[in-house]
Amino acid sequence: YVTLMNGKLTSTAVTSGKEVKMLIQNYANLTLTDMNLVDNTDHILYALSNNSGTSSIEGATNITTDAVAFDVYDYSSAGYEVPTVNVSTTGKITGAIEVSETATLNISAGTFTVEIAEAWCADGFIPVKNADDTWTVKEGKFIAQTAKGAKFETLQEAVNAGTTVTL
């Protein structure tokens, strides 16, 4: 088990022709609490890559990159445990998120600059698009869907949308 707390990891400029591609490449059970992962270069591919074990992003952890903030990649074909990432941070995740079909991502808190897929939400949570184009989650459940794919928490919201509703 590895825990990183109350710190900051940043990328560096190219040194002697060598570029850092990932701030953290994880094959263990990892907990990030009140951490800041900051990509301040143009050569980082992943701020955090999760390839095995269970990872938790919690406290006021922030991840900032113009590339992939984190991935949850199933590398079990090489003998590793299928990864699970649990996100419950009051911080902000800036950057893309990649999730393998067989890996698990459970988001129960945080602010994200990319759309959160419903499948990434922890049980009992649903994605919410905010007025500032960020995404968060909230406790809830979708019970109705329109023909165009819009989802609603109540039947009344779906009816008010004025299109065909599927329960």
- Annotate 117-163 with three-state secondary structure: CHHHECCCEEEEECCCCCEEEEECCCCEEECCCCEECCHHHHHHCCC
- pLDDT at residue 167, rounded to an integer: 63
Q: Round to whole Å and give the CA distance between 129 and 22.
A: 28
Q: Contact 156/162 with Cβ under 8 angstroms? A: no
Contacts of 156 (CB under 8 A, 6+ apart): none
| Structure tokens belonging to residue 112 | 């994200």
Q: What is the pLDDT along the chain (167 residues), one digit of tens a residue?
A: 999 999 999 987 777 777 788 999 999 999 999 999 999 888 889 999 999 999 999 999 999 999 999 999 999 999 999 999 999 999 999 999 999 999 999 999 999 999 999 999 999 999 999 999 999 999 999 888 877 778 888 888 877 877 676 66
Q: Contact 26/51 with Cβ under 8 angstroms? A: yes
* DSSP structure class, residue 81: P
3 state SS of 6: coil
pTM for the whole structure: 0.89
Contacts 24+ apart (CB under 8 A), 126-131: 126/151, 126/153
Question: Max alpha carbon distance in the chain (Å)?
Answer: 62
Q: Contact 76/103 with Cβ under 8 angstroms? A: no
